[in-house]
Structure 1
Amino acid sequence: MQRLKTETRPHHERTEAAVRLMDPGLTLGDYRRHLEALHGFYVPLESQLAARLDGAVPALRAHERWKVPLLEQDLCALGHDASSLARLPRCALLPPLPGVPEALGCVYVLEGSTLGGQLILRHLKRHFANTPVGHFAVFQAYGDEVGSMWRAFGQAVLEASSQAASEDFDARVVKGAQDTFDAFGAWLLRETAHVPSRA
């Protein structure tokens, strides 16, 4: 986990710079565009992850970690319905995830964003205190279990790495995380430009 943190730091920082949810001038349209962009990334990515991780790392409890249902709750609160959600753009340049190690690296990015999302959640609650925007379901994520879910993820990665006992396995986990950060950041920059929301 320390290696992941160290070797993905520049990728993490570039991606973090594309997230504008902490801006004091954040508008409702900006917030909606960001959620639409997350939806466009998570829908195809979680499908790919499910195919890679199904039964491969039981301790990960991957099925409990999917964010698409939470994103859809938030987007429906902002005016979307099933039909308009289906028309939202989907990211075609996903990180390559040829195997379980790369998929674990990808989940590291997604779970890290869930952990970091707690700071964003507090900001959004203050910023939109008097605006009906829904319940920030995707940033609430696991509620009081955010910390324990992060620790469980870390333990699952360590167990998978120990069982593989391979430098190649660990390097592939790191590469999966780096590629996910880069794909995520590029997609956010493209999709959260100041263009009309698709609600």
Structure 2
Amino acid sequence: MPETTESDLRIPSALTALRLATQAEHSALDQNLPLQRDDFAHADYLNYISRVSGWLKPLEATLWASPWPALADAGQRAGKLAWIEADLLEGGWSRAQVDAIPVCPYVPQASDDARRFGIAYVLEGSTLGSSFLFRRLQPRLAPLPLHWLLGYGAATGPLWKSFIRRLEEQLSEAAQIEAASAAAREAFESFSRWVVRGESA
């Protein structure tokens, strides 16, 4: 029997672990996402992103509040709520309506660096899927600007790659990866509850 070496016990990459840990939640969300419906229209989009806003607002306020290790572009990633608000205002909502959007009370807590990376993994990863939805829905939902779906635009791919590099650099221990995976699952579940299923508590 060959001797077990240190390389045989190597911890899987953080990205691989996060993908496996959230596979079921990600698949369920994709299957139930309202944006996938063939009859999805202007009002549906505005109502949908208003729910996303209520989920994102408390999350974004804490997620990017502390200095991010080795993530110099964290400030650029912290403005996703502004994309939604721009869509709502340009779509006909008043400032008062936007300010009155209910806030999700059960978003995951970004209590340490590992959990913050797990939550950010969900947020940053969503920009990739949104770019495909932008191309699909833009003709149907014109003239809405779809800032939320466009996201970083041409910078989406490079920013995702830079995030993954930081993720792999910072989450090198099994306990860190486990904490990040738990936070990512919580992020998916809270999003599904609040945005897709419309649960208030």
Q: Same fold (TM over 0.5)?
A: yes
Q: Retained in 2: the 8 A contact 1:45–1:94?
A: yes
Instruction: Considering Cα pairs closer than 8 Å and 6+ residues apart, tell me whether 1 or 2 has the greater RCO.
Output: 1
The residue type paired with residue 111 of structure 2 is P
54-63 or 170-179: bigger deviation: 54-63
Pick the aligned partner of 1:18 from 10, 16, 32. 32
CA distance, structure 1, for counterparts of residue 120 and residue 74 of structure 2:
9
Give the equivalent residue in structure 1 for 2:87: 74
CA distance in 1, matches of 2:58, 2:70: 22
Displacement of 1:100 in angstroms is 1.3
Q: CA deviation at 1:86?
A: 1.0
- CA separation in 2, counterparts of 1:100 and 1:160? 8
- 2: CA distance, partners of 1:172 / 1:27: 38
Contact 1:103 1:173 in 2 (8 A): yes
Distance 1:77 1:191, change over 3 A: farther
Q: Are residues 1:190 and 2:197 paired? A: yes
CA contact (8 A) 1:118 1:140 kept: yes
CA contact (8 A) 1:37 1:187 kept: yes
CA distance in 2, matches of 1:27, 1:144: 25
Q: Which residue of 2 aligns with 1:124?
A: 137
Report the structure number with the largest CA radius of gyration.
2
Contiguous gaps of at least 5 residues in structure 2: 1-14
**TM-score, normalised by the number of residues in structure 2:** 0.86
Aligned equivalents of 2:27, 2:97: Cα separation in 1: 32
When residues 22 and 60 of structure 1 are mapped into structure 2, their CA distance, relative to the original with a 3 A threshold, is: farther
Give the aligned CA root-mean-square deviation in angstroms. 1.6
After TM superposition, the runs of 4+ consecutive aligned structure 1 residues lying more than 6 A away are: none
1:5 and 1:90 mapped to 2: Cα distance?
28
Query: C-alpha offsets along residues 125-180 of structure 1, whole Å, 9 cap, x if unaligned?
Result: 12224xx32x1111111111100000011001111123xxx211111011111110
Percent identity, aligned pairs only, is 26
C-alpha distance after superposition, 1:89-142 (max 9, x if no partner): 11011113321111110010011110110111011112224xx32x11111111
